[in-house]
Structure formats: structure tokens, C-alpha cells
Structure 1
Amino acid sequence: MNKDSRRSFFKKSGLSLVSFSLLDLRTRFFWPQGRKSKGVPAAIYFTTGCKVAEVTSHSAVLWTRLCAQEKPNPITHKRVETVFRHPIDFDEHQPVQYMDGAVKGVAGWVRATLTARESTLRSDWFPALPEHDFTVQIPFSTLQPATTYQIKWEAKPTEDGLIFVNTGTFQTAPEAHTEKAVQLVTSTCQYFWSYDDDQRGFKTYDSMRRLNPDFFVHTGDYVYYDKPGPLATTPEKARHQWHAMDSWPSLVDFYKSTPAYLLKDDHDLLRDDAYPSSAAYGELTFQDGLKIWRENAPLQGTPYRTFRWGQDLQLWLVEGREFRSPNTLPDSPDKTIWGSAQKQWFTRSVEASDATFKILFSPTPVVGPDRDKKTDNHANKAFQSEGTWLRNYLSRQKNMFVVNGDRHWQYVSVDKPTGLLEFGSGPVSDAHAQGWNPDEVREEHRFLRVKGGFLGIQVAREGPKPRITFTHYDVDGKPVHEESRVAE
């Protein structure tokens, strides 16, 4: 490609080739030319963190939110010492700006610069606007595979204002036919008030970070709109829950170096067991929930997608709320959680894959077992027809497994009719673990633990044969169970 063609390409992509000193990666600010406008904030902060998401071998989406305060509001309320740790005497009607964990946003401009080896990619300046809760998503599409990128975030309140800097790093995925070991981590179900470290938030995030994973999958219930402190009965309160969660230091530090793929479930949208025609939760509608999700989850295109990480691993992330039938309908072949378009995409993409190992990441269980009273997932009788179809289909695929969210306990289970294996990561903290009797070990269970933590998954080759290993960890990062399979 000649120089003129390259300039034209990067201009169309919104990127430019530049170079800068490594000293610029230090967090700092400087006075540019021009005078500060009246009313412009004295500083901009990245208090709710920066994320890299949807990473492929050649692309990624970067996310951040501009903030007007360096630290979130302090936690002033005590908690009940029961499951979920609800705050005591919390005023649900106070202004959000005074709530525990609140982080005020601020308008401004953001750009990101990626540096690897001898090349540098720089985005245009993107506006952080109040109608999007001051969040910004910056896509890059010309990255190199299996490459470590240093990130330089820059923010300014006006086009000629002070510039403030943050940094991070991530690695892109290897190309589809590259043999490369992969380490990933996954977790689910985190309620702000169930924190287990009053300074850093959640031990699990620090424990996952110590494994230096290639990437992270969150399988849903990132926040809990229908739990107090506050109950998210308005869009403003719903957004607050994201601000408070993402400003925990353990999450901020984790996402600085770990790419993420985020799935959503009912509590991220509205309330328990939600579906598109569910009634509003106070003033919060299902459509409000979708908008707020898109503000906070870096995502391009459909909410169902698949990603390849080298020769030996492909993952499918599916959507379980936007296309589902009402849970209350009688079961039938037409009753669905996924919807017909997603089902067609799924079977088509699975059958086109030549990856050694395949993992379906589902926000809800496919195998279970689940509680008899539940009616919103494929392990329940309420969706038995589609659940039976899905388990049969998955079991016919070589080396395919299910990893699910939603359940507040760790487990490994096998579907007796088909032999399909499912791994539940469990909730992010012990305070959130509940809903199953730890003594009720059923024949489907290969492992059961009603505690919090996370699931680590490693794919590596031992000579010519790839092996996949699933390890459950407690919140402190201690292994508590392991399952390993050599490729068939």
C-alpha cells in the first residue's frame, strides 16, 4: 500500500498514524494553548474506569465515561448481615448525587491512542454527552492479531481545554488457525451492597486479575435494578447503579488490563424474570433498560455474537431477554428464549466452525438443575420444548460445553439423557450465594458449592492433543474444583 493510499485509508477510518514518547503514557495533564472557558470544570476524571471489549484478532471497542469527581461518594450506610447485604435505613428518595457510590458525570471530549511495536493508531475526538450519560465508545478495526497494545486515554472539557490522561493495555486474539494457549475467566451476579472488601469492592476481581487472563466473560446480572440502595425505578437510579459498581477499585484495576465480553440478564434491564412485554418498574421501562445497557456495555451490532481465539477455542455469547416469549405462556414448540433469527444464526455459525473446543456462554442455565419454582430458563419446564432441542443439539457437537450465569451457586452438572456438561461460575461474592441447599446434591451434579468466586478456563496443547480445563475458584483465588477434557 503506497503512502497516499494509507493516508486515505486511515482518514476514512477516523484514525491516524502518529508516534509519541513512552513518557506520554504516564498519567498527567498539561496546559494547551487557549484559555479555559468560564464554567468549565477544573478537572476530568476516569473514576468509573475504562474498558476494552469485543476483542477479535483485528478489532476492539474501547469504552469510558467522563466524571466530575475523582472518587465515588463514600459508603455511609451499614448493611444487614443476611444474604445480599441490603443497606439499613437507605433513603430511596434522596437525590442520586448524594447516594453512596455516586459518581457525577461531565461533558467533554475523549480520544484513544493505541501503540504496539512500531505502529500507533489514534482515534478522532469523541464527544461525551449527557444524553448518553457521558459515556463514549471508540471502535478500532485495523489491529494486528495476538498483539499487546498500550492504551493512552485523553479527555478534555472543551475543544481547547485542559487534557487529562489515563492508561491501560490489552492483547488482541490470535488468528483462527494459530495454535496458542488461552486463559479466560468468567463470573456472574454482583450486587453493589454484597461487596466483600470495603476498600476495593470485590475480592473476586483482584483474584481473577492475578491469573493474568487473556479475557473475561461476564454472564449477566452485572447490577441489580430491583434491589435496594437504590431500587432503580427511574433511568437516573439505574445509571447510578452502573456508576457505583464500576467505580470499585477492584473493577477499575481489572479492566485496565483485561478485555471483556459482557452479557445481560433480567436484573440488568428491569427486574426479576423480565421479558420485552413486562410492565415498567416504576418509571423504568424495558426500552430504558436496553438503552442504558448499550451505554454501559461496549458492543457493536447484534447482542448475540461469536468470537474465535486461535485454533482451539471459539465462544458463542447469546441473548436471552430481548427476543423471548413471555415466561407465563404455556410451553410449546413456538415458545422461545432465543427467537428464530438467533437460533438460525447459532446453528449456522456452530456448524461452520472448525475450532477444537466450543463454549456456549448463556446468561441462564441450559442443563441446571434449577429450582422447581423458576420459569425463565432452558432448565425449567416453562421452556422445556426449546430446552430439549438445545441440549440435544449441543450434545451432538464435538467438544462443546455450556457456561452459564444467573445461578447463585457454583456447580458442574451433566445432562443425563445427552451427556452435555454445564459449568456455573457462581456469584462474585459469598454474600450473594443462596438459592440452593448445599446438602441437596442431585445425580446431575459432579460438583456443588453454594459460595461465591469465579470460573477459570484454560485451553492448551499437550503434544498434538489440545486439552481444556475448567477450574472453579473461591473469592480469594483458591481452586476448589477442576474438570479437564482432552479433545475427541
Structure 2
Amino acid sequence: MQRIPSPNRRALLQGAAAAALATTLPVGSALAAPARPVGPVGSRLTLPSGLQTGDVTSRSAVLWSRASGAGRLHAVLHALDADGERVSPRGKGKGHGPITLRGGWARPETDFTARLSADGLPAGTFFETEIFFEDEHGRRGEVGTGRFSTAPGRRSDGAHTFVWTADTAGQGYGINPDVGGMFGYETMRSLAPDFFLHAGDTIYADGPIAESVEEPDGTVWHNLVTEEVSKVAETLQEFRGRHSYNLMDENIRAMYAEVPVIATWDDHETTNNWWAGEVLEDDRYTVRDVNTLAARGRRAWQEYQPIADPRAMSRGSGFEPTRIYRQIERGPDLDVFVLDMRTDKGENTDGLEQHETSMLGEEQLQWLLRGLRTSKATWKVILADLPLGIVVPDGKGQESIANAEDGAPLGRELELARLLSGIKAQKTKNIVFLTGDVHYCAAHHYSPERAAFTDFDPFWEFVAGPINSGSFGPNEMDMTFGPHVDFQKAGPTMGSPRDGTGQFFGRVEVAPQGEAFTVELIDANGDVQYTRTLTPES
């Protein structure tokens, strides 16, 4: 196995990260309501959850942070040249000032989170960022620093790289200072990717995190804990507390300060395998109406992700759901299409309906086909929060698109069949699906020559995760769309993230001019498990 260079990772993690975590919060400590930070009267505002940049394109970026109290978000962007010297971001040479921006207000109504949109940025430019809040008296608070690069505006001579994964803080495995916290994030950061795709299950709202967890081999896993993560999330504040908990991890904070995020959601941002209209039969919940839980979970997710929300930015308060599915243009070589496979997902039946049942919904399906058809990028990545051909049972039904029957498409598979046949009909080439969800890594090639449904062009799907959750799998495959398992690897069932060998992420390198698309599946220690290079079709 090839090993990705990650200098002094273990020393770094077990030293700096663990020490910072341990001195901040001793093992087993129970913090009261970290999502409601209140500092001493007269103290300057701090950044208790760090900072993030997200949805970065050739011309724009969203900047996010969270304050310790009420204040207005500000950002200063310094453009750098190849030598690291500050230059004018408008192309006028040295000596011109940075870009200064003012965003929305951090208030209790948004859990003191705020964001701003930086538009009209120059393409292919590296920025150092300074983020801070000013209180109502105009006093500047703590300054957080980060960096990001806008995507190239034209074909460049350099390669583009990004990483993706899923599943953070699941199965009771939270922040463990004994192992250096969520060190898989540090491994990803050390590769200096241009951006990061989180394929969902960004939190586990339905998975309480206790002070200790017994691992399958009897070893005891120790967690930092907070009040909000001690039970299933039901109130808005409990959902928020799940997000702020993950941002207590030094590895996540360091990565998010340097690597722009593009995220989607899946089920655990609300509760396991949910669908709209479901009524829970789970004694852990006093709120059984999933629609109520999903609305609260979506609001908390949106507040904590660096995703544009024009209404919140313009008014500084109030809430309106942001459309989660979206297209992120990353220059001439790459477009990223982010799916939302949860909002319009139908009930988890056996999936054998003769009529089409919903996963994407008609509006999103047509949006995706149109975006793929009009995209001028060489490679089109579809970030899906659910795999296409993996069977994922849910009691007597199926959580997955696949229905465990290898014949002609039925139920949700009919919607996928329309998507794939539509892509073929409009002659869109060079599509790659990236996903997570199933807690193991895999590479699947889909081809009509092996399939019951044949009206589609061959394509690849790559699966990565978990990054800090229990391991599972591998699962069975449904042959309706003819998948071939080129590779798969799973950790032990309910295995912990302790040694990193059952935790996975993917890395993609898009070669200059888009001439190759290389995928690596890597464990949390940086060891490459699998490599596949694709070449574009014209």
C-alpha cells in the first residue's frame, strides 16, 4: 500500500491536538450548553467554533463563523502571489488594499452564527482571510485567520485536488483526546486539498455520546461530552449543540480554516433513515413527529454550514430553508453537483412498487439533468448522500434506492433509471458519483452489459467513510444497474476510529486540462487502499 505523506501526524495529533483538547476539557467533563456562549460583561467577542469557508467558485465564496455573543461579522481578504506576497486582489500590483467585507449579525436567533458572501473575486487567486466580530459598541473581537483559493477561471497548467468523506461522530464515537481527537480530519488537511466534500451525516443527532463507550474488543473509548450530546436531539438547541460539539475538535477546526467546505445532509442530521411524514416508534423521543424534528435539524444544519442564505444575510435574523441541492462551478475542468436525497425521499417500503417513488423529486431531477446538459466542465462530479446500488435495509423496508431485487427497476429505482437514461439521451459525458453513508469504502463500475436495465452509459461510483464513526459492511449489491465491485474494504462491525484502519476518505486529483481524474481511497492514517485513474470521453 502506498502511504500519503503526512509528516509527524501521530506526534502532532497526540501532542498538540490532544493536549489542547485535554487542557480545555478534561475527559468526562460535562459542559453546560456550549451552543449558548456568554462571556463576561465587557469582554471582547471570541470565535468559539472557529471559522469556515464554503461553496467556493471561481468568483465567489461564503465565509462563516460563530461569535460568543451578539455582534456583526467582518472579513478581510488578502490576495497573495506565488511567492506568498500580498498583492492587489484586483490585479493592480502590490500596494493596494485588501478586500473588506461586512456580513450579518450573530444573534441568539441564529445561535450566534453568521455568514457573508464574497462575490466578484478574481479567479485562481489564493487568499489569506481574517475573520472577526464587532459588538454593538464597535469593539473588534478575536481575529481568526484562514485561507482559501478561488477556482481557476480558465484551463490551468496545475492539477486540482479535493477530498470527500461522510459520517462524523456516529455510534457514540465523539472527540477522544486519548487518540488525538478526530484525527482523520488532520490527515485530510495535511494533503492540502483545494476543497472538501462532506457527503452527509455531518452529525449524529440520534446518537447520544457518553463519557465512555466499550469497543467490540473490550477497550474503553473516552469522549468529551456536553449536555446537548447526552441524548437524542429534539429541541432546536440540542440540534445546534451537535454541530457546535463537532467544532470543538481541533482537527476539524484546523481543516475548516484552510479547506473550503461543500456539504450536503443525509438522515442523521435528523434521525436514522427518516422520511417526510414518518411518526417515530422510538421510546428515546418525546417528539415523535419527524417533520418537526427535520425542520429543527435542517435549521441547525443550515446555521452551521457555510452555505449561502440571502435572507439571513440581509436581515440578520429569521429563518427560511435554503435549497440544499446546488451546483458549484470549479472552473473549466470540474463542476460539482450537490444532491439532496432526503427532503423529497418517500417512505421506506420494500421498494417493489410498479410506479415510481421519490428520492430526488421531479424538480431536483430536472435541475440535475439540465445542469449536466449545460455544463461546460470536462468532469461532472455528483455528490450523493446515498449510494446507487448498495442495499441498505431498514427493518422490513429499504432505506436505499436499491430494493434487493436484481430485475427491472421498481419503486425508487425508476427515478434513478430516468436520470441515467436522460443523461445518455442528452449525451453528457464524464460523470462520476461520489458518496458515503454505508461506513466503508468501495469502488463500483456500473455498465448496461451486466444490468437488467440497459438504457444508460457506463459510469463509476466511489464510496468513502466513515471519518469518525463506527465501521460496518460491506453490504450486498443490487444488480439492476449492473454494478461491478472493483474494490471494497470495511472495518470490523461497530469498530471504533481508534487505530484509523477502518475509517476512510477519498482524494481526487484532476490533472491539468482535465486530462485525467484519479481517485484514491485512503484510511485515516494516510495509507492508500485503492487507486483508479479515469480518462475523459469526448
Alignment TM-score > 0.5, same fold: yes
1:165 positional shift:
1.1
1:424 equivalent in structure 2: 463
Residue identity over aligned pairs, in percent, reads: 26
Deviates more, 1:187-196 or 1:388-397: 388-397
1:62 positional shift:
0.7
1:32 equivalent in structure 2: none
CA distance in 2, matches of 1:276, 1:176: 42
Deviates more, 1:469-478 or 1:373-382: 373-382
Partner SS for 1:378:
coil
1:330 positional shift:
6.0
Q: Deviations over 1:40-65 (max 9, x none)?
A: 25243222121100111111111111
Find the partner of 1:357 among 346, 355, 379. 379
Indicate conservation of the 8 Å contact 1:107/1:129, yes or no.
yes
1:389 equivalent in structure 2: 418
2:523 equivalent in structure 1: 474
1:141 equivalent in structure 2: 119
Indicate conservation of the 8 Å contact 2:76/2:131, yes or no.
yes
Partner SS for 1:432:
coil
CA distance in 2, matches of 1:259, 1:39: 32
2:193 equivalent in structure 1: 213
CA distance in 1, matches of 2:422, 2:526: 34
Find the partner of 1:282 among 261, 283, 286. 286
Indicate conservation of the 8 Å contact 2:46/2:141, yes or no.
no
1:217 positional shift:
0.3
CA distance in 1, matches of 2:66, 2:362: 35
CA distance in 2, matches of 1:424, 1:44: 40
Give the 3 Å change call, closer, same or farther, for CA 400–449 of structure 1 in structure 2: same
CA distance in 2, matches of 1:370, 1:308: 31
Amino acid of the residue matched to residue 304 of structure 2?
N
1:158 equivalent in structure 2: 136
> How does 1:6-85 map onto structure 2 within 5 Å?
40-67=41-68
Q: Deviations over 1:350-390 (max 9, x none)?
A: 01122222111100011325458662332336522113333
2:28 equivalent in structure 1: none
2:33 equivalent in structure 1: none
CA distance in 1, matches of 2:76, 2:50: 16
Give the 3 Å change call, closer, same or farther, for CA 437–125 of structure 1 in structure 2: closer
Give the 3 Å change call, closer, same or farther, for CA 282–320 of structure 1 in structure 2: farther
Give the 3 Å change call, closer, same or farther, for CA 302–475 of structure 1 in structure 2: same
Indicate conservation of the 8 Å contact 1:110/1:156, yes or no.
yes
1:158 positional shift:
3.0
Structure 1: tracts of 5 or more residues without a match = 1-37, 68-105
Q: Deviations over 1:307-327 (max 9, x none)?
A: 222222111111111123333
Give the 3 Å change call, closer, same or farther, for CA 374–250 of structure 1 in structure 2: farther
1:121 positional shift:
1.6
Deviates more, 1:347-356 or 1:417-426: 417-426
> How does 1:125-274 map onto structure 2 within 5 Å?
126-175=104-153, 177-178=155-156, 180-191=158-169, 193-195=172-174, 198=177, 200-229=180-209, 230-268=231-269, 270-274=270-274
What is the root-mean-square deviation in Å for CA atoms of aligned residues? 2.8
CA distance in 2, matches of 1:332, 1:130: 48
1:298 positional shift:
2.0
CA distance in 1, matches of 2:384, 2:149: 24
Give the 3 Å change call, closer, same or farther, for CA 321–289 of structure 1 in structure 2: same
CA distance in 2, matches of 1:149, 1:333: 51
Indicate conservation of the 8 Å contact 2:275/2:342, yes or no.
yes
Q: TM-score, normalised by structure 1?
A: 0.77
Q: Is 1:306 paired with 2:314?
A: no
Amino acid of the residue matched to residue 340 of structure 2?
E
1:413 equivalent in structure 2: 444
Q: Is 1:118 paired with 2:84?
A: no
Give the 3 Å change call, closer, same or farther, for CA 165–387 of structure 1 in structure 2: same
Amino acid of the residue matched to residue 70 of structure 2?
A
1:443 positional shift:
7.3
CA distance in 2, matches of 1:245, 1:386: 35
Q: Deviations over 1:125-171 (max 9, x none)?
A: 53210011110011111211110111111223432335321111110
1:108 equivalent in structure 2: 71
Q: Deviations over 1:404-435 (max 9, x none)?
A: 12111111112232533210012103x52114
CA distance in 2, matches of 1:41, 1:277: 47
Q: Is 1:402 paired with 2:433?
A: yes
Give the 3 Å change call, closer, same or farther, for CA 39–459 of structure 1 in structure 2: closer
Amino acid of the residue matched to residue 354 of structure 1?
K
Q: TM-score, normalised by structure 2?
A: 0.71
Q: Deviations over 1:207-239 (max 9, x none)?
A: 111110000000000111111133112222111
Partner SS for 1:124:
strand
1:113 positional shift:
1.2
Amino acid of the residue matched to residue 412 of structure 2?
F
How many residue pairs match? The answer is: 409
Find the partner of 2:340 among 316, 319, 330. 319
Give the 3 Å change call, closer, same or farther, for CA 265–134 of structure 1 in structure 2: same
CA distance in 2, matches of 1:323, 1:111: 36
Indicate conservation of the 8 Å contact 2:168/2:467, yes or no.
yes
Give the 3 Å change call, closer, same or farther, for CA 354–125 of structure 1 in structure 2: closer
Q: Deviations over 1:36-87 (max 9, x none)?
A: xx962524322212110011111111111113xxxxxxxxxxxxxxxxxxxx
Indicate conservation of the 8 Å contact 1:369/1:444, yes or no.
no
CA distance in 2, matches of 1:454, 1:151: 27
CA distance in 1, matches of 2:428, 2:199: 22
Deviates more, 1:323-332 or 1:206-215: 323-332
